[in-house]
Amino acid sequence: MRGSAKLKVKRRMTGRVDVNVGKRGLTTSVLEEIDRRLNDSELVKVRVLRAALTSEGVDDCEEIVNCLVGKLKPDAVEVRGHTVVLYRKRRRRGTL
């Protein structure tokens, strides 16, 4: 990741959360919303609430982060506690 992308991630860590993963866990609608926001702005801040951990049956946030990475294929991930910042370079429209 380039220096400018790292700077974007660091600035975003102090901002507001874009998407909350709540008591229903990682539903398809949550994944679609995160994917749409990654396509629109390249950078998404996601907070995993404790209720999501119990509904998914996991002990820590790392398993949910691994699921996000597996399904959304971000270029970079930064995790602090229950907050995850995902970065994916914007794809050009009209290309395969």
Report how far apart the first and last C-alpha atoms of the chain are (Å, whole number): 22
Q: Which residue range forms the structural domain that includes residue 7? A: 3-87
Residue 94 maps to a domain:
no
Largest CA distance in the chain: 41
Predicted confidence (pLDDT) per residue in 43-76, tens digit: 899 999 999 999 888 988 899 999 999 999 998 7
For the cut 50, the answer to whether the pLDDT of residue 96 exceeds it is no
pTM of structure: 0.81
As a whole number of Å, the CA-based R_g of the chain is: 13
Residue 22 maps to a domain:
yes
Residue 27 maps to a domain:
yes
Residue 92 maps to a domain:
no
Residue 96 maps to a domain:
no
Which CATH number belongs to the domain containing residue 24 in this structure? 3.30.110.60
Number of domains observed in the structure of the chain: 1
